[in-house]
Amino acid sequence: MSRKVAYQGEPGANSNIACMQMFPDLESVPCPSFEDTLDLVKSGEADLAMIPIENSIAGRVADIHVLLPESGLHIVGEHFLRIRFHLLGIPGSKIEQAREVHSHVHALGQCRKLIRSMGLKPVVAGDTAGSAREVRDWNDPSKVSLAPPLAANIYGLQVLATDVEDDPSNTTRFVVLSKERREHSPEENQGPVMTSFLFRVRNVPSALYKALGGFATNGVNMTRLESYMVGNEFAATTFMADVEGSPSDDSVRLALEELEFFTDELRLLGVYPASPYRAKSRTIPDAGRTKGSTDFLS
């Protein structure tokens, strides 16, 4: 049986591209929703899931902060994808004929300059690649799609304009999820490592300040901290965080121990290799892409 990596969206979506870049030897399996994507891994029908977690422009991806902790899956890797959008129409159409532009709400928001300059009517679709498929099926030169370059090849559409996103630094971070936890021992020379976890602070004054103090005193770099409410209550806040290093490092271990003292809940989501994009992006604004790897399946 071939190994599989599941993603949310239709063939040609950015998640599909991320799967192909990071796991070129695996079969990419499209799923209609994030829940379906996670269920495919939980059931064993797929080995991994590729899930977008945050975008450099749009911020965090909705619902992931709830679905990820509840899934019971573990983060075993990450991938950064430079987001590119092309304006696609049916074969033989001209850009002057376009009247409506269809795409995911985030894609429409990230290509506002083009939409306004052309006077197009934006129409929200469930998925970028799905909008390309719909434009093909409608066979109407007045309807165009904002979709990744791969979608043009898959659905046989004509590229009317390339790289039309407002910000060329637009990047999405994906996490790779697995049923099995990936262990990291201090003896292994695995390069830079990231640790993701969530915690809920106690409802006392200065709780967050005290909880995070251990990371400062132990010299641990926190690269991400996001908050969200727990259930329907306003009395407690849960935070999702990423730090550089592994719990097997003394600095991270001590920081997490101190954090636990000030929290009601502390849950490790994953310890995994840092993407090479992190090192490159510190010196190069538009860094290169991660090479394909299947190490996470070993």
pLDDT tens by residue, 21-66: 999 999 999 999 999 999 999 999 999 999 999 988 877 887 887 8
Annotation marks residue 174 as catalytic? yes
- Is the pLDDT reported for residue 216 higher than 50? yes
Q: Can you tell me the distance from the alpha carbon of 26 to that of 19, in angstroms, rounded to the nearest whole number? A: 8
Q: What is the pLDDT of residues 151-184, one digit of tens each?
A: 999 999 999 999 999 999 999 999 999 998 876 6
- Is the pLDDT reported for residue 93 higher than 80? yes
Q: Which of 37-41, 200-204, 234-238, 264-268 has the highest mean pLDDT?
A: 37-41
pLDDT value for 210: 85
Q: Can you tell me the distance from the alpha carbon of 172 to that of 83, in angstroms, rounded to the nearest whole number? A: 7
pLDDT value for 53: 93
Greatest alpha-carbon span in the chain: 65
pLDDT value for 31: 96
Q: Can you tell me the distance from the alpha carbon of 127 to that of 108, in angstroms, rounded to the nearest whole number? A: 11
pLDDT over 90 for what percent of the chain? Answer: 69
pLDDT (mean) for 205-233? 85
Question: Residue 297, CB half-sphere, CA atoms under 13 Å: how many?
Answer: 17
Q: What is the pLDDT of residues 100-152, one digit of tens each?
A: 999 999 899 999 999 999 999 999 998 999 999 999 999 999 999 999 999 99
pLDDT value for 77: 95
Q: pTM for the whole thing?
A: 0.87
Average pLDDT of the chain, as a whole number? 88
Which one from 37, 128, 172, 195 is the annotated catalytic residue? Answer: 172
Q: Can you tell me the distance from the alpha carbon of 34 to that of 276, in angstroms, rounded to the nearest whole number? A: 26
Which one from 80, 174, 197, 199 is the annotated catalytic residue? Answer: 174
Q: What is the pLDDT of residues 256-291, one digit of tens each?
A: 999 988 888 899 999 999 999 988 876 544 444 333
DSSP three-state, residue 268: strand
- Is the pLDDT reported for residue 68 higher than 90? no
pLDDT value for 117: 96
pLDDT value for 218: 95
pLDDT value for 185: 55
pLDDT value for 234: 62
pLDDT value for 57: 83
Both tokens assigned to 242: 């990423």
pLDDT value for 271: 95
The alpha carbon of residue 218 and the mean position of all alpha carbons in its chain are separated, in whole angstroms, by: 29
User: Long-range contacts for 211-215 (Cβ within 8 Å, ≥24 apart)?
Assistant: 211/258, 211/259, 211/262, 211/263, 212/259, 213/258, 214/254, 214/255, 214/256, 214/257, 214/258, 214/259, 215/243, 215/255, 215/259
Annotation marks residue 238 as catalytic? no
Within 8 A by CB and 6+ apart from 124, the residues are 102, 103, 104, 105, 108
pLDDT value for 296: 44
pLDDT value for 158: 97
pLDDT (mean) for 209-235? 84
